[in-house]
Structures are given as C-alpha cells and as structure tokens.
Amino acid sequence: MNSQHAFIGFLEVVDPLYARPQSQVHSPPQAHAHIQRTTYYQHPPGFQYRDYHPHHTQLVYSPYQSPQRPMYTTPSPPRPASESPSSIHSVSTNSSDASSGGLTSPNPDNLPYFSYKSHYPYAKLVLLNTTVSTNNFLAGWYPPGRRGVIGLDIEWKPMFTKGAPLNPVALVQLADPEYVVIVQLSFMWRFDANGKKVLNMPQELARIMDDAGVIKLGVGIGDDAKKLYRDYKTNSRSLVDLSTLAKLADPTQWAKYNSRQTIGLARLTAKYLGVRLLKGKVTMSNWEAALSETQIEYAANDAAVAHAIWLSLHNLMMSMPYMPGSEAYLFDVIDGVSTYNPYQYTYQTHPDLIAHGTQNVALMNSVPALNSNPGWDSRQHVYVL
C-alpha cells in the first residue's frame, strides 16, 4: 500500500454486509447544514466510518466487492489556499470565445479540474446500494422538517441503438458541504416471475425529492426530475435550474442567452469557480454495474459542483439592489409536469439597475402556481416595471 501524507477529506460507506459496527461513529446532524456541528445522530448498527489517517490511503468497502479485495482511493495533494476555488473571483478570458454568443469566459484548457475533495475538504463520501442503508442514512441526514440546499444529478446506462427507449435511472447523487451521497438504485432493482425489471426507489429518497423544504440544484434539473417520475413515479419539489438562476443573478454576463437557452454546467463551473469539469468516456459508461473509482469521482463531482455554483450565484443575488423572488426560479415537477414556464418571464431594461451596472432584469408577467416552499426566500422582491 502506498503511503502519502495528503488530506483528501473523509469517506464513509454504508454497507450492512461488510461494514463492522464501531462504538463511536459520526453522522449527519438533525438540523443545520454547518460544517462544524455540535449535535450528532447515532447511526444504526451496520454503519462504518473510518477517520482519515495521513499514513494510509482511504479504504472503502462496497457490497459488490469482498472484504479481501477492497477498493482503494489514493489521496491527492490538497489545493493551496491561494488557489482555492472559493478564493477565485476573476479568471483570465479567452478572446476566441467570441464565437459562442459574444461572451467572454475562462479558457478551460488553463484551469485546474474541479474536485469535491478540495472544494469541500470536510465532506464525507457515502455510497449507498441497498434499500435499508439508503433509508437509514437519508433519514438521519435530512430528517422530516429539516430545510437545506443540495446539489442533484442522475445517471443511467447509455443506449447505443438508435430509437431505443432510455434505460431507467441507475444512480442518484446528492451533495452539500458535509456529505456527497451516491445512491446506486440499480442494485435495488428486482425481477418478477416473467423476468421483467421491477424498479424500486427507497422511501426516504422519494421523500426528500418530494420535500419542499429541501431545495435541489442542477442544470437541466427539470428534465432529470421528469425522468425520475417516468421511471419511479416520484414527484420533485423545490427545484432550481442553475442556468436560470445565473441569468437572474448575473444578467449582463449571460445577456446573449434567452429564457429557453441553457447555460451548460461546464461553462458555469469555469465562470464562477475558476475550474473545469473532467468528462470523457466515463459519461457513457455502464452506470448499472459495480462502479469504478473513476465513475465514483465523476458522479460525486457532478452533484457537488452544482452546490458550489449555487453558493457563488447566491452571493451575487444577495448583492443585487433588487433581488428576484424565489418564484422566478423555484419550481416543482408534479406527475411529470413542470410548474415552471420560461415564457412567463421576459427580460427588459430597468433604469435603476442600469445605474448599478446591470442591464437586464426578469419581469414577471404572472406568477406560476407553486406548491413548494413559497416562504423560503425572505426577500420576496418582484420586478414590476
């Protein structure tokens, strides 16, 4: 085993088959989303947590690997404080980017890669692949009544046959500064007497998706929620598309994008975090099988980066002279239908905002009927021109 003196954060695997219960274990709080916590929830038997030790790599067990053949994650050097993504406020631009709508954005070739390990160094990675362990952990992480904000992403096995129906969602990733959680739904599927696949979503995961007090973040998150409904008949409330939020929080930067155009996750990552996302062949890999270390890293980063981008956009919105109300970007997907309609919002010039250097502002022609969390935003300012 290689020995490296480097901090990569904490790892936790929920595995009732191989994990050995310990007398003292850390776990999610019952309330606030603070990195430093004073209240802990005791895991039920079967949960294992290993503290980081600088002389050893992190050891992770998972149900599809025997204890004799563990999966190792090799520590990587931490990012210097001067290069921390949270400290990057401005990055160099590439003049050749004018072809993409005239916007200037960071040259991704010159940026380091995003990693949840360096951006959220105290976050624990949790792998869940049984119904019982998923329900137990999520009930402790986000119990009923707890409000919070989490990054969300999903993955499914790609189809290479033209016209073939999409495979069901195999992976759901959730992230905040404390935990990066990967739920492998494909290991919870069953087959009936006729050999037909029977999909199953753990009750606590469905509850969190339907919980209006837990805001879920992502790019194209409305489409992800619709697919979750098609596959698992799960409603999703309090969704925020980061592309929409970026147009509201930073309208001058994205003035070339109309309400129907999506700003990609990679572009938002480069602009607001000063890093780039690692893509490649892993995006088209088999998400229904046992996950490789590369797949785990990719899946964890996609959920964590959504939360990191939201923090930057939230700070921008808090500095705006007129902050949009949550009804301008918060929506639900109920019975597979989104409550958000981009045609309800147009972008017009406001003279007061021009004085503050902001050219565009969302003018709401009507307010969509939202079932989710109308009081989350304490500053319900709506632009009325």
pLDDT per residue as tens digits for the range 94-124: 433 333 333 455 566 789 999 999 999 999 9
Going from N- to C-terminal start, the domains of the chain cover: 10-364
Strands in the chain per DSSP E: 10-14, 47-50, 58-60, 71-73, 124-128, 148-156, 169-175, 179-184, 190-191, 197-198, 214-218, 236-241, 330-334, 337-338, 345-348, 361-364
Choose the weakest-confidence range: 194-208, 219-233, 341-355. 341-355
The pLDDT tens digits for 138-175 are 999 999 999 999 999 999 999 888 888 999 999 999 99
N-term to C-term CA, the chain: 65
pLDDT in tens, 260-280: 889 999 999 999 999 999 888
> pLDDT tens, 312-322?
999 988 888 77
353 and 321 Cβ atoms separated by less than 8 Å: yes
State in words which class domain 10-364 has: alpha beta
Residue from 377, 291, 284 nearest 329 by CA: 377
* CA–CA gap between residue 369 and residue 114 (Å, rounded): 37
What number is the average pLDDT over the span 350-364? 42
Q: With bands split at pLDDT 50, 70 and 90, how would you rate the model's confidence at 341?
A: low
pLDDT recorded at residue 195: 85
- State the greatest distance between any 2 C-alpha atoms of the chain, in Å, as a whole number: 68
